[in-house]
Structure 1
Amino acid sequence: MNNSVIGLDIAKNIFHMYTFVDNKPKKKKLKRAELLAFFANYPVSLIGIEACGGAHHWARELIKLGHEVILLNARYVKSFVVGNKNDFNDAEGIFDAVTRPNKRTVMIKTIEQQDIQLVHKVRQGLVSKRTALVNQIRGLLSERGIIIPQGINQVRKELPLILEDAENDLTVMAREVFAEQYEKFAALDKEIKTQDQRISALCNSNALSRRFLDVPGVGPMTASIVASDIGNGKGYLSSRDYAASLGVVPGQHSSGGKQVYLGISKRGNRYIRTLLIHGARAVLKNCHNKKDKLSLWLQALIERRGFNKAAVALANKNARILWAMATRDKEYDACLV
């Protein structure tokens, strides 16, 4: 490890650093335009940065200058901040945290990994807008005594029929407004489909995500986002660590040598956890009457623990399988499941 250690608190425009020079603490404030020029002339150092917005970009840029950069989990850093919250105290907390042997780190993502995440985030935003629009349409129609059952497909089916029905109580203006809302709804559908196609293309262009597609319950969306999140898997010591980072392992409240396990922790990346569990549900719905090793295990698990817990168990298993495939650079082998 480098002898020179720096805690760097990043922001949009003003950056704060904390280090020791000649056994004395040194604090410095840097503007965004000054940051890279300053570190280009600074001795090679170990730089700790809290994993937040822009952290991966600055980590890549500082690595290009020859420095060693470690991204730290924000929850982990918080426990090292002493006193009131301010930028220099945050930088000092990062400095203390990055020197610990058991620090919680975050893998630095490449541009390609961030591109995949960009498409997924855009799609998430579009889906949220569509859901909000559908709920608004259903709510406004219910005020006029017109009820559409729950579900996006029901709105697709029923709204055009409602607009064509001349016998309901909708006024001319109301029909115009609901027609505009339906056009927005159709446009969002089209945008989401475009992003789905883009995700499929990204998945097929990435060697790791293509291998992930062989895992039961893993489709292009899950494969691509996990590939962008896990990288080569070296950021996690074990498959359980990766599953824990997604919140699909039991929480603990143990004391006095007595192990007490709770429900899943639900920490970490909610989006990936949701995709893994939805994929697992699809596998569970189709595992009956199958005689392969995985299906027999799932059938027994459903009988013993119920459908939902079996779905989470399979999501946990799949997270560990994906980690093993990434770290060992191997194909999926159903015989090892």
Structure 2
Amino acid sequence: MKQWVGLDIGADTVSACIKDDAGCVLAKAELMASDEDITKFLLRYGSSESMVVGLEAGSTGIHLTRKLRHRGYQVHVFETRQTSKFLSIRQNKTDGNDAEGLADLVRLGRGVVAEVSVKSVECQLLRSKLVVRQKLVSHRMAGEGAIRSAFRLNGGKLERSYSAVGLRRNVLSEVKKIKDREGVDLTEDVLPVLEICEATRRHLERVDRNLMKLAENHPICSRFLAIPGVGPITALSFYSAIGDPARFKRSADVGAYFGLVPRLKQSGGTSVRCGISKMGNAMTRTHLVGAAAAIMRQKSEVGVLRVWADNLRERSNYRRVTTALARKLAVVMLSIWKSGQTFDPNPRDLDTIGKELRS
């Protein structure tokens, strides 16, 4: 007889609920958020083979999922947004009610609410590196935007910089120009922000070098780098987001996984195609769109993907073509990964790329 377990995970505690096949509550408890305490509680009511555990996706939940699976439990991790709608059926939202709802979800709704694939430790570490890099880039852009705004208010302009050394040179030069021309000294306002931006740029340069080495030495990501427009960040981001390519029966499904397909609203005789769904990981979707934009900007080397995009450009606008090319790029990358082949950018070899590229 199966027993269905719902775990509502908080910051330090876990609300647990065990139900039988008929939906009757067998036990409820408040536990510490550790696999040892959860295992001790579950073993009072049955073995790991008889327990099916359901919980909501999250950083702490993923860690507990790995621990519980290692102990022999069957654990299902559900997508946060859909789970929240399922749990909102109950009138009162409490940790105990959420645990009871998760037990019902794993008992009845596994075919309704989407499940989340738990990434390997390798992919999780790569994602952490990429997330930290993204935060640093946002931090740098905010700081440099503040400097640029201060210059514009006084009739100045910050030239584009490609390194920390170039940034300092351009900022100090513009501060001097504004002081000589307008009689306004921005040194006290700008220099503290400049030092932060400069340190952030130097750290980002080190991070990018390390990520470049990781991508070049990785057996899968190194093959992605052969695709024009795909850099180490996009390659690592795509690899770590997918984790296991066998999850996709068709390579074409990866576009919907990253939210790069249109949404459809249909009611009665009305059918409206809206913008892309933007489901899935936003960071990887941004990287794919950036790689597609890089392919569209190429002038010296025109490969098979650019030829495909140019043909589509004849009947659509630049923005939609770039999104479609990002979706096609994801399909090609997954096809390369699953087949073990390398990418050939020669348009004359279009037939050898695969059915997904010709569609």
Normalising to structure 2: TM-score of the pair? Answer: 0.83
Whole-Å separation in 2 of the counterparts to 1:91 and 1:193? 45
Whole-Å separation in 1 of the counterparts to 2:104 and 2:21? 17
CA contact (8 A) 1:250 1:263 kept: yes
Query: What SS does structure 2 have at the residue aligned with 1:214?
Result: coil
Whole-Å separation in 1 of the counterparts to 2:78 and 2:69? 16
Aligned to 1:51: 57
1:158 shift after superposition = 3.2
The Cα RMSD (Å) is 2.7
Whole-Å separation in 2 of the counterparts to 1:125 and 1:326? 29
Aligned to 1:193: 205
1:288 shift after superposition = 8.2
1:328 shift after superposition = 4.6
Aligned to 1:323: 334
1:59 shift after superposition = 0.8
**Is 1:60 the counterpart of 2:104 in the alignment?**
no
CA contact (8 A) 2:77 2:117 kept: yes
Amino acid of the structure 1 residue aligned with 2:80: A
1:296 shift after superposition = 2.7
Counting only pairs closer than 5 Å after superposition, residues 157-236 of structure 1 correspond to structure 2 as: 158-165=170-177, 167-168=180-181, 169-171=183-185, 174-236=186-248
CA contact (8 A) 2:19 2:103 kept: no
1:104 to 114, 136, 140: 114
Amino acid of the structure 1 residue aligned with 2:102: I
Superimposed CA distance per residue, residues 220-261 of structure 1 (whole angstroms, 9 cap, x where no aligned partner): 101101111101123445444432231110001023376432
Aligned to 1:35: 38
CA contact (8 A) 1:214 1:332 kept: yes
Whole-Å separation in 2 of the counterparts to 1:22 and 1:305? 54
Flag the 1:204–1:313 CA change in 2: closer, same or farther, 3 A.
Answer: same
CA contact (8 A) 1:232 1:326 kept: no
Flag the 1:86–1:216 CA change in 2: closer, same or farther, 3 A.
Answer: farther
Amino acid of the structure 2 residue aligned with 1:131: M
Whole-Å separation in 1 of the counterparts to 2:175 and 2:251? 53
Q: How many residues align?
A: 332
Query: What SS does structure 2 have at the residue aligned with 1:211?
Result: helix
Normalising to structure 1: TM-score of the pair? Answer: 0.87
CA contact (8 A) 2:133 2:204 kept: yes
CA contact (8 A) 2:159 2:170 kept: no
1:112 shift after superposition = 1.1
CA contact (8 A) 1:39 1:62 kept: no
Taking only the aligned residue pairs, the percentage that are identical comes to 28
Flag the 1:228–1:65 CA change in 2: closer, same or farther, 3 A.
Answer: same
Query: What SS does structure 2 have at the residue aligned with 1:107?
Result: coil
1:149 shift after superposition = 5.0
Flag the 1:85–1:233 CA change in 2: closer, same or farther, 3 A.
Answer: farther
Aligned to 2:148: 138
Whole-Å separation in 2 of the counterparts to 1:256 and 1:22? 39
